[in-house]
Every structure is written in C-alpha cells, then in structure tokens.
Structure 1
C-alpha cells in the first residue's frame, strides 16, 4: 500500500490542487479523429489482459499514482495477469520500464453485465506510477456534462469492424447527447439504456474494439481536462444509427472516493481534501513534501 498519503492528495477534481487533468495539447487543434500527439493525454493507459494462450487489450485511465479505472468488460475473462502501460504512444510499444502489474481488481457493486450497468472497475497497481509532465492523473467529474458539450475520446482500438489497428494513439471529438435520444436509437434492438451512462456521437466518428475502458474527457478550464465517461459499448463502429455509450464518472465518484479511502485507511482522510478543493497541497509529483 505504498504511496497512501499521495493517493488521497492526487485523486481529485479540478481545483483541488492535485495537478490532475493537465494535457500536453492545444485543445483547439482537434477537428476530427486522427493521430494524437505523443504524451498528449498523460492519463491514458494501455491495459493488457493476459490469458492462457493469448492476450487482449483495452484502454484505461490513471486516476492516482496507484489507481487506474477501466471497463468491467475488460476484466471479465479467466486471465492470468493484468498489467497497465503508461506513457505509451505507439501501439504495443511497452517494456518493463513503463509496465506495472495490477494486484487488485475492484468491480462496482452494482455492475450488471447483462444490462450493461455500472460497467466499471478500479485497478490497484502493484507499484505507483512515477508522475511527470508526461504521466499525470486525470480529473474526475462530480457532475454530468451538459448536453452538446464537446468531449474527446482516445484509444488504440481498431479503425473499423474490419479490424485495422492504428500505429499510434487516436483521438476524436464527440458531442454529448441526451439519454432520451440514445434510448430512441437503441429501442430498435430492444435495449434499455441505463441511467448510469451518458451517450455521445459525431458523424463518421466512433470508438471500436480495443477502445473499451478508455476515458472520455471534457475541457473544464483552459487545458484542464476532466473524465466524464468510460468507453462502455455501442452497436457497430461507426454506425450512424447508434450512439456510443459511456459509463458516467459522476455517478461513481463517491464510490471511487470510498474505495481509495478504505484502501488507504490510516492515512488522513482525503474525502475532505477532494471536496474542499484546496488550492495548494504543497506536495511534489513524487509524493514528497516540497
């Protein structure tokens, strides 16, 4: 449980002083789905799910030095090992220097795989990720995004259902849509869109296989980004008739806080720190006091 003090100081929301959500980008550069810049999204993680004779991959987000967040779908396998890769840009460009094993998987208690509700897990990392300008946690949403807000999703998922894999991390802008509009689309296949999700879409842009578990973020202030969604599911990619569906981060924020707080019990409670949004916590990136 190393890094306990830093965990509750790093996990937070915009304005908490934790330094979360600072992207290495010019946000106005984004115009359509294309290659991301190297280290553009410092919270972006590559999740490796090692099976007996193969492995699968997903996206994930860094929310604190020892914690990652992803889709429950990604770990719904009889796996041998889970690992995350941080600071990665080129597909599968990982080595021991930027790979960390997962030692605990915590599934949301209300997860329902059949109804695709609360499709989220927290991953505790065996060793904390070393933070820098290129590797930082994302801020977490405490309220849902407004309809029509531009969000950005990133991942190494295939370009389309034919299965072409990108050479580098991809990024794409989407618009937040109403769940009512989302439900109208999914009525065609008899699926009920749960309240624990938000929907997003843009013409000819979508997430696809391999993007599951990755973050959907919005810019909440100048170059500070907050994760509002976790890639969950869709129907075809891209498919103009069906919106992409994302687990709502604001609906699980309290749960995240409670899990990390319980894990690091004995440290000063960070719940007060998160909600107080202290402006200066006085700690460096490695968790040592300045």
Structure 2
C-alpha cells in the first residue's frame, strides 16, 4: 500500500529541519523514537523550528495514538482516517487540548467514545475521520473547514508535536511552519508513490526545490490552515503522507478538505451535531443495579431552543422527559443497553448522544472507576497508587476480571503497572513493554478467582527510567 510512508502514511509533522540536515526516506510507525530531545530540554533543540505561542492555534488537539487533530465541534475532533481504526465505539483515545506544552498542568483532556472513519477508506485518498469525545470541550474555539478552492495558493501553516527529522521522536512542545502550495501536476511529477496522487482528494505543499520544511512522523491528522479575507483560520488540508520528511521534490501530501466538506458535515450530524446544528451531551456510560432508582441528565446546545427529547434503547422501567431530557425510573431487567438520546429543536434540527448502560443483577458487582489524575514520579521505584474500594459484593472475583488502564506518558517502555489485591497479592499488568510509544490505553484480563471481591484494590504505577514523564488518567476494575 503506497501510504506506508510517514507513519502508515504520515503520522506526519512539523519537520522543521534545516537545509543542512540529511533526511532519508523511510517507512516508519507513528510513535516516538527511543530518545526524544524535544521532551528533555524543550523547544530550543528543534532544528530550524519555530515554537508556537500559547493560544496561537487554539483549536489544535494532540491525540494519544500519536496524531494531531482539530476541533470541528466542541465534541468532535477532525483527524486522519489512517490514525484510527474502524467506525464504531472506541474509548481508547485521549485528546489533549488547550496547551502547546503537553506536560502543562493546564491541559484539558477527554477520552473518546466513538470513531467515524471515512467510508471507503482503503489507504488511498479519503484520509479523514471524526473522533467523538466523551464530553464536549465547551471553551474550545472551532476550526472552520474549506468548502472551495479559493485558498489553494500561496503559503499554508502547519503545526504539530511530531518529529523534527525523518524517523525522529515526538516533541513535548507544539511547533509550527509555513509550506508553499504545490499543484497536483507538479506533485505527481515527483514520481514513485506520488504518481498515484488522487486529484481532488489530495493536495500537496512544501518547498519543492530545497525541502527543509515539512510535516513528519507524529503529525498525521493535524490541520494545514490558511487565513481567509476575514482573517479567520480555515482548514485546507489534513496531514496525510509523504516520502521521508522535508526532502527536495518529496512534498507533504494532505487530504483536500474542501472536497469532503459535505461528507464531514453530514457525518458530524450523524454523531450528534454539526456546526450550526444541535449538539447533545449525554450522561456518559452507566452501570447500575436492578431495582435501584436512577436519574440521568442530558443537555443540548445550538439550534433554536426549546428542544423536544426522545430516547431509544432504554432499560425497562425507565423513561425520558420530552421537555427536559431527564431519564428517570427503576430498571427492572439486567442487561447491557445501547441508548441513544435525541434532541429536536424548534426548526426540526436534531442532535444525538449515545451511551452504554449496564444494568447488573441484584447481588452482582458493578464496575468501579477511579478517574482522579495521579502524577507518576520520574525514575522512582516506589511509584504511585490509586485505590478502588469494593463493598457490598459477595464471593470471589471472576477468572476473567478486567482492569482497564488509561495512562498518559511519553514513553510507556519506562512503566511497570501492577494490580494489588486487598490481601496484598500482586498481579503484573504491564512490564516495560511498548518501547517508545506513547500512553497506555489497555484493558487487561486477569484471573482473580482466588480473591474476594470486597476490600481495597490498588493500581500501582512505577516509572523505572529517567526523562519521560506522565500521569495516571483513570482505571476501571470489573470483578
């Protein structure tokens, strides 16, 4: 597949390399390199680069799989198709917004709950996707997308936390650069993979004769932008692929956003709201017990109030208020329910939010989550602990108990993660594997049949190497 070039495509970035840097073409995965100077000493080590100022690109998002993205709505991030898996439920992605320094304490994070991948994507063209967040980032400015070719000229701005050289490591600080427009005909003349350039679906940019400035590994999915006549940033492209990074006559290839603007808009509507439409925020995934009364709330924004509410997939014994969107009642039947809440405004525009509701039988033991962020000390053998207290359950845990772990860290090969049972027994979940890839977003299955359910369960995280740092975002125990 021709796109196995800068990530699987270009988990691509602001490779702001100087003309003296020699860059070889390479097929590389979207991950950080074993050494990552940008995460050690900051942006002063970026060769030929320009650090972005805080707030300069306020819609920019970093995604935990090693890609970039931009806020299309307050609940949807526009990124590249090759950065995500298939369309469907997905809670494994963490989006970081609001900072140029990924380790800043003011960063805002959200997990995903759904991914929409461009229909028909097969590695050639159609390289766009939407990631729906578990809750909106209401303070985030949105990035408008191009709907015509009026901005297809001159220079574009690109930005990202990716590598500063082909095969290099990911960066802690957001970098920016300017890349000139290249016509499809000239881009195709580069030969090789460029010969199969998909006109209309792909757009090229870069310094044709000299190279030296480009996107690279780790920037895929990030926006290529330009200001319109009203001084508004408009997204013209999505970082997609390229051969090597910043080489002469090997430009960056970007998804041509205007060609897919209607498809992106319609997909956003199907996911619960597009710009100017109705956006719905649901209560999030639920776990309750048969016979226990519940009250769940949803909210709507955009469109024209008031809203009329409805819901599908509710457990027996519950209902939704058509005027407030509040779900109340007492579930009578155990099971797993896929619930969709719909708000319709006075102009008949609709928005939806979906969530999974697990109703556990009486005497069962529902999943428990600790979502408090805990910083992980660097190069520390003691580590940190996060506790979950289980009570009111009967008997022993299951042989197929699960531990869902979400850790934000720039080098997961440094980490050792253990589950410590109430009696002190230790179950290792992760032991310094994964090398230089970012983050842990994994559900582990553990045989805990020898452990009673009730008691204090602890997740221990240790960072056994220096330089890279991070934090425990959340973990969920299902016994």
Q: TM-score, normalised by structure 1?
A: 0.71
CA offsets, 1:112-131, max 9 Å, x none?
Answer: 21xx2111111111100121
Corresponding position of 1:52: none
The structure where strand makes up a greater share of residues is: 2
Shift of the 164–142 alpha-carbon distance from structure 1 to 2, 3 Å rule, reads same
User: How far apart, in 2, do the equivalents of 1:190 and 1:181 lie?
Assistant: 10
Corresponding position of 2:225: 217
CA offsets, 1:210-262, max 9 Å, x none?
Answer: 01100000110353110000000010111112110000110111011111223
Q: Is the 8 A contact 1:106 1:121 kept in 2?
A: yes
Higher mean alpha-carbon deviation, 57-66 vs 252-261, is at 252-261
Higher mean alpha-carbon deviation, 163-172 vs 63-72, is at 163-172
Are 2:83 and 1:83 equivalent residues in the alignment? no
Corresponding position of 1:99: 109
Shift of the 214–189 alpha-carbon distance from structure 1 to 2, 3 Å rule, reads closer
Q: Is the 8 A contact 1:145 1:176 kept in 2?
A: no
Question: 1:103 aligns to what SS in structure 2?
Answer: strand
User: How far apart, in 2, do the equivalents of 1:287 and 1:211 lie?
Assistant: 31
Question: 2:266 aligns to what SS in structure 1?
Answer: helix
Tell me how far 1:162 sits from its aligned partner.
Answer: 4.4
Question: 2:254 aligns to what SS in structure 1?
Answer: strand
Structure number with the bigger relative contact order (C-alpha 8 A, sep ≥ 6) is 1
User: How far apart, in 2, do the equivalents of 1:73 and 1:197 lie?
Assistant: 14
Corresponding position of 2:78: 69
Q: Is the 8 A contact 1:35 1:170 kept in 2?
A: yes
Q: 2:241 aligns with which of 233, 237, 248?
A: 233
Are 2:113 and 1:109 equivalent residues in the alignment? no
Shift of the 181–82 alpha-carbon distance from structure 1 to 2, 3 Å rule, reads same
Are 2:167 and 1:157 equivalent residues in the alignment? no
Alignment of 1:29-68 (within 5 A): 33-49=49-65, 57-68=66-77
CA offsets, 1:38-59, max 9 Å, x none?
Answer: 121011000012xxxxxxx110
User: How far apart, in 1, do the equivalents of 2:204 and 2:149 lie?
Assistant: 11
Corresponding position of 2:204: 199
User: How far apart, in 2, do the equivalents of 1:223 and 1:268 lie?
Assistant: 19
Q: Is the 8 A contact 2:204 2:253 kept in 1?
A: yes
Corresponding position of 1:179: 184
User: How far apart, in 2, do the equivalents of 1:219 and 1:80 lie?
Assistant: 34
Corresponding position of 2:261: 253
Q: Is the 8 A contact 1:46 1:88 kept in 2?
A: no
Q: Is the 8 A contact 1:85 1:94 kept in 2?
A: no
User: How far apart, in 1, do the equivalents of 2:145 and 2:221 lie?
Assistant: 15
Question: 2:203 aligns to what SS in structure 1?
Answer: strand
Tell me how far 1:173 sits from its aligned partner.
Answer: 0.5
Are 2:157 and 1:141 equivalent residues in the alignment? no
User: How far apart, in 1, do the equivalents of 2:235 and 2:276 lie?
Assistant: 23
Q: Is the 8 A contact 1:43 1:138 kept in 2?
A: yes
Q: Is the 8 A contact 2:189 2:195 kept in 1?
A: no
The number of aligned residues is: 229
Tell me how far 1:148 sits from its aligned partner.
Answer: 3.3
Question: 1:261 aligns to what SS in structure 2?
Answer: helix
- Where does the alignment leave 5 or more consecutive residues of structure 1 unmatched? 1-31, 50-56, 272-285
